[in-house]
Structure 1
């Protein structure tokens, strides 16, 4: 019994034997001057409407107060100057909120030194 001849399933192109140069782009002649943008689009640079005003976050107060009265609340107050306090319980969290407000009025990063202004 003989097997029938196999027919090719796909047309596979022959592989080149060596490296070949890539096709070079065709040089186009330019009519008119070069434009940076599409015609009709204003090219004036406008100021950024969301410009940086120099303000950065310095002191944070994070309070976790679940809706259920059976769960104990907690809070954390921290600042980039090194102030870092934690509180657990309702009374302690209320005291920490007050202390955070006091720190914001006394923090050297939030209130640039009163020493320099007192001399002026």
Structure 2
């Protein structure tokens, strides 16, 4: 019996080949595109809707924008209203429609 401490066993190095571990195990992984697009556009607002195929599960939605808008909804009618509000926000968002330099109406 030795009294000297021993290092932990090291696993042999294996090269990473093929898809990532999440893909290999069937886990859904979503990668957002980078913030810069080739044509110069940048995402400003996002809408995430979860509407499961099972009618017994309540659908939910989340709408947020870089201008500070951040809203959530649950239930079919409220989710539909949130989607409509998110679409209407495009015309009123200060980041998409800057008011500087415009003549007052």
Q: TM-score range by the shorter chain?
A: 0.5 to 0.7
Q: TM-score w.r.t. structure 1 length?
A: 0.52
Structure 2 counterpart of 1:93, from 79, 82, 92: 79
Q: CA deviation at 1:111?
A: 1.4
Structure showing greater radius of gyration is 1
Consecutive aligned runs of 4 or more in structure 1 exceeding 6 Å deviation:
none
Secondary structure of residue in 1 paired with 2:94: coil
**Separation in structure 1 between the aligned mates of residue 74 and residue 38 of structure 2, nearest angstrom:** 37
Match of residue 52 from structure 2? 66
Q: TM-score w.r.t. structure 2 length?
A: 0.59
**Separation in structure 2 between the aligned mates of residue 89 and residue 68 of structure 1, nearest angstrom:** 13
Secondary structure of residue in 2 paired with 1:53: coil
Which consecutive unaligned segments of at least 5 residues does structure 1 have?
Answer: 1-50
Report whether the alignment pairs 1:116 with 2:101.
Answer: yes
Secondary structure of residue in 2 paired with 1:85: strand
Count of equivalent residues: 68
